Structure 1
Amino acid sequence: MFRSIMHWLGVTLLKWLMEFIYMTCRVTYVEGKEIRDDILARRRPVIFIFWHNRIFMAAIYLKRTFFDKGVHLTVLISQSNDGEAIANVVERWGGDVARGSSSRGGKEALTMLSHALGRRKSSVVMTPDGPRGPMYVFQAGALVASQLTQTELVPVCVAPRRFWRLNSWDGFLIPKPFTELLVSLQPSETEPRKQTEEERENRRAYHERRMLEQRSKLDQLAGVSEYAGKKKKPTAVR
């Protein structure tokens, strides 16, 4: 009973913290405002993809920008303990959760995502380098989901002007209250249904390069310094 109460309290505090910080922040679109408007106007399901260390910002951004305006979201979340808390927050918001990753439950999760995209017409949220990395390495799960369902991939990036950086494998970013959030959405692309292994690897590398360029551009504008992972000490908090 005590553990259940503490878990409920922890999830509640995390939900409030995410919403409070986002409410105090000012969102500025660097690029992709027309992509946002098109998705909202057409209400078509898409696969939103962003790097793992942007979960805190991207999750609440997608909720406020799309979910709260009628675009249903299904979030792929790992079966780890950390993933459990995030899954509970998403469910409290009213979204759906597919539990799995490239290392655990991936096949089952992919089936759930295909169902969400196809029958439920729900958009999907994925982190191509999650849940364990390597950081900024695009894994094939999102690409396969796009292939199987013929659904567009939409890269999303959010960069804060001021932030805390956790000493995690990906240098997880938490924006400070009352900071500016720079947002970028890239044009959507759908993967061809039939691909050879070489073609799939070329496409995987293409999406990785595309998302890295998007992140690099936004981080330079926001002043977010490079971070090479857990083995190095995090940069000083500004």
Structure 2
Amino acid sequence: MAKRLIRHPAVQGMLARLVALYLRFVWATTRWTLVGEEHAHPFRDAPMILAFWHERLPLATLGWRLLSRRVPQAGGRRAQVLISRHRDGRLIANAVRPFGIDVVHASSSKGGASGLRGLLRILAGGGVAVITPDGPRGPVRVAAPGIAQLAAMAGVPVLPCAVASSRMRLARSWDRMRFPLPFARGIAVVGAPIAVARDGAEAALPAIAAALNEACAQADAMAGA
């Protein structure tokens, strides 16, 4: 009974609004620092690929708001994140929309290929794509080929990113997802861009994963997480 109730569209909509309100409260009560802002400046009016590990997805929402406010012209664009068409994906889409993030839905029948094509169109138009390379099911911190393929096909480097808070709760999920708490110190890290050659997608994956791990370690250390 409880599961059916949670799946109801009206309940899903209410939950999404509550999540958005909570994230706004966290945003307003957190002292934010952006590290590596200079790495994003060359892309302020050009296509961008931002990568976060799936465990940082709630924090990434706030990280994008910080980046879009600190980097001139980035704030004029909405980020596009690839999400499944599962009901949880719809809830996430409604929750993050107020933070300047829209959703590209991956087809349940065609897998990630349809989502990849959608992100390619967005990048071709000068947009911002957000990827969680180990999502939605893992393994944790293992980058799937899609992000490197996207970067190679679009000719757009990957910016490895991480966000951490001095006050977080870890979920009992496969990736121990981090949920920020209010009244904290927040650190967002943007790493150096990683260019991916047209025929070098597979070879670029270890560098992307290593850069994401480094960004997470730096953000956690600075936040005291």
Q: TM-score, normalised on structure 1?
A: 0.82
From 4, 15, 20, the counterpart of 2:9: 4
Equivalenced residues, count: 215
Residues in 1 aligned to 2:108 and 2:213: alpha-carbon distance in whole angstroms: 20
**Aligned position for 1:82:** 88
Q: 2:13, 2:91 within 8 Å by CA — same for their partners in 1?
A: no
CA shift, 1:81, in A, is 2.8
Q: CA 1:60–1:217 in structure 2 vs 1: closer, same or farther (change >3 Å)?
A: closer
Give ranges in structure 2 of 5+ residues lacking alignment: none
**Aligned position for 1:55:** 57
Range that drifts further, 78-87 or 177-186: 78-87
- Report 1:1-238 matches (<5 A): 3-29=8-34, 31-40=35-44, 43-66=45-68, 69-93=75-99, 95-100=101-106, 105-118=111-124, 120-195=125-200, 200-224=201-225
Whichever residue aligns with residue 113 of structure 1, its letter is: L
State the SS of the aligned residue for 2:197. coil
Residues in 1 aligned to 2:101 and 2:209: alpha-carbon distance in whole angstroms: 27
Whichever residue aligns with residue 65 of structure 2, its letter is: K
Cα displacement string for residues 155-210 of structure 1 (whole angstroms, at most 9, x for unaligned residues): 11111111111111111111110100112101112211123xxxx43311121122
Name the Cα RMSD after superposition: 2.3
Residues in 2 aligned to 1:136 and 1:103: alpha-carbon distance in whole angstroms: 25
Q: 2:167, 2:185 within 8 Å by CA — same for their partners in 1?
A: yes
Cα displacement string for residues 43-77 of structure 1 (whole angstroms, at most 9, x for unaligned residues): 11110000111111111220343288213311111
Q: 2:162, 2:188 within 8 Å by CA — same for their partners in 1?
A: yes
CA shift, 1:92, in A, is 5.0
Identity percentage of aligned residues: 29
State the SS of the aligned residue for 1:66. helix
**Aligned position for 1:236:** none
Q: CA 1:201–1:194 in structure 2 vs 1: closer, same or farther (change >3 Å)?
A: closer
State the SS of the aligned residue for 1:134. coil
State the SS of the aligned residue for 2:144. coil
Cα displacement string for residues 95-149 of structure 1 (whole angstroms, at most 9, x for unaligned residues): 432112899620100110111111x321101101111111111111111001111
Q: TM-score, normalised on structure 2?
A: 0.86
Give ranges in structure 1 of 5+ residues lacking alignment: 225-238
